[in-house]
Structure 1
Amino acid sequence: MKKWTVALMIILVVSALTACGATKYSALPIDESVDVCAKCKMLIKDDAFATQLTTKDGKTYKFDDLGCMNSWKHANSSEEIGMDFVRDYNSLEWIEYSKASYVYDASFRTPMAYGIVSFKDKQSAEAYINEQGKGTLMSATDLTSHTWKQNVEGMDMDKMKDHSHSEAEHA
């Protein structure tokens, strides 16, 4: 083959790969009146604790608690996950799971009682620890070696702190 033919083929292959680009994933809204957790099948009642993941083939799974998403990941191939998201506890903003900061305490009331609250940054997580007077700061990497146990006493959502947000707060 001539050098210019090889060069042209390389240019075409690089152009084709560049055109494909990386797949963009985005979180979907939670409808608290109809969305159910893909793991425990309970209604996602408190949007502040909602999590979700999208597989590489575009299927989205929603969860009511980070512990449910973790359980789903262990039961399924994590290689198929395109992106996973958690909510910032304060703003309800969707953030990538790997970029979030987390606070754990077994006594924290979360929908399925795993006791983990997610935040958009380390400063917000530390402020929550100071406000609550307890909690362990964790990263997504720390969660890989976390002991995922439910605090059965913490599953009473009626006793959970009101964490409702009006639409105006998040517009």
Structure 2
Amino acid sequence: MKTLKHLLTLILSLFFVGCNISPQPIDYGNDGCHFCKMTIVDKIHAAEIVTKKGKVYKFDATECMIHFLEDFDTSEVGLFLSNNYTEPEVLIDANKATFLISKNVPSPMGAFLSAFKNKVDAEKVQSEKGGTLYNWEELKLHLK
């Protein structure tokens, strides 16, 4: 009976470890964009999707992530992540982010799109560089 209990505990532990939905660090200069296949080098504009099963898709820009969604079942997504413009390499929840499209802030795929953890930071850069602010839902509609 004790052996069965230990076996069940082990199986459940492996199940939950295998379904971990957390971001993976992007290996800049080595990882490729899942959408456009370019090598991810820009530490300010990269993005990532983590599915509910823990599979990770990496992108060189948020616009690639959005275009990838056109042929992807979004009900499978656990996390949408974008790099925070003010903290390079830091992934933030795209659902809560504020996005700026400004011709004065280039991004890898030419959408001039940057993500910000909070609206205050986005508004500060907008006041310096110009452009338009979007939330996640507005951005997806704008880029379709």
Q: 1:145 aligns with which of 125, 133, 141?
A: 141
Is structure 2 residue 116 aligned with structure 1 residue 119? Answer: yes
- 1:22-77 CA deviation, whole Å, 9 max, x = no partner? x7632211111211100000000101101000111211000001110001111111
2:3 is matched with which residue?
none
1:98 counterpart residue number: 95
TM-score normalised per structure 1: 0.69
**CA–CA distance in 2 between the matches of 1:49 and 1:141?**
18
Residue of structure 2 equivalent to 1:12: none
1:29 aligns with 2:32: no
Task: Determine helix, strand or coil for the equivalent of 1:145.
Answer: helix
TM-score for the superposition, normalised by structure 2: 0.81
Q: CA deviation at 1:107?
A: 5.3
| Paired positions, count | 126
Q: Please, what is the CA RMSD of the aligned residues?
A: 1.7
Q: 1:97 to 1:106 in 2, by over 3 A?
A: same
The DSSP-based 3-state class of the residue aligned with 1:45 is: coil
Say if 1:66 and 1:114, in contact at 8 Å, map to a contact too: no
Gaps of 5+ in 1: 1-19, 149-171
Q: Between Structure 1 and Structure 2, whose CA radius of gyration is higher?
A: 1
Q: 1:81 aligns with which of 70, 77, 80?
A: 77
Distance in 2 between residues matched to 1:141 and 1:68, nearest whole Å: 16
Where in structure 1 do 4 or more consecutive aligned residues deviate above 6 Å? none
Report if aligned partners of 1:51, 1:66 keep a CA contact under 8 Å in 2: yes
Q: Distance in 1 between matches of 2:57 and 2:86?
A: 22
